[in-house]
Chains A and B, each alone.
Chain A
Amino acid sequence: AQSVAQPEDQVNVAEGNPLTVKCTYSVSGNPYLFWYVQYPNRGLQFLLKYITGDNLVKGSYGFEAEFNKSQTSFHLKKPSALVSDSALYFCAVRDRDTGFQKLVFGTGTRLLVSP
């Protein structure tokens, strides 16, 4: 069975500082990994994904994530946080080796960027 852990309910960072939102996953096969962001009263917006290849994935709005197979992690990063980055972030996994295309989500991490 697939699972995702986001160990921090909330991450606080000052504007201009680097940010990291942590994610670890568990799948029986090889993973497809995703990050989505949810703003208040909005749907989930796709940020980036890891399918295969380069372990460092770049996505929208200056975000990037690093896939680490040995640590089964896919942490989201940004070199310089903006107040407008404050939102709820979800990591999701899909098992590449099964026919199921459903996404399994973590519980979400609230990012709060202070001015």
Chain B
Amino acid sequence: DSGVTQTPKHLITATGQRVTLRCSPRSGDLSVYWYQQSLDQGLQFLIQYYNGEERAKGNILERFSAQQFPDLHSELNLSSLELGDSALYFCASSVDRGNTQYFGPGTRLTVL
């Protein structure tokens, strides 16, 4: 167990809908990262937050947004969902300037 928690484990929704994925980092970790794992794209970095502020952006679609709250948990919001958004979404956390990212169990999103 990495200490990173993600909810829900599974999410099934329809095209055009909006969902929110939640992540709680390990105790003491200030940085949160979101990654998407899909069959065609592999593991792709989406976005990083550090202590409530956006630090880096990767291949994140405009339909997706994220935030990190004062208690350091993070949410990834996916809107206007398309079939191609079906994937496993991982959250990871690290101590800033620390080099190891610890991953949560992921949320499997299925868009029908």
A interface residues (Cβ-Cβ under 8 A, vs B): 32, 34, 36, 42-46, 49, 51, 90, 94, 100-108
Contact = CB atoms under 8 A, between A and B. Distances in A.
Contacts of B92: 44
Contact of A103 (B4, B45, B104): B45
B33 A102 contact: yes
A47 B5 CA distance: 19
Contact of B48 (A101, A104, A105): A101
A44 B42 contact: no
Contacts of A100: 56
A108 B101 contact: no
Q: Which 4 A-B residue pairings sit nearest by Cβ, starting from the closest?
A: A105-B43, A44-B103, A102-B45, A43-B105
A101 B94 contact: yes
A43 B106 contact: yes
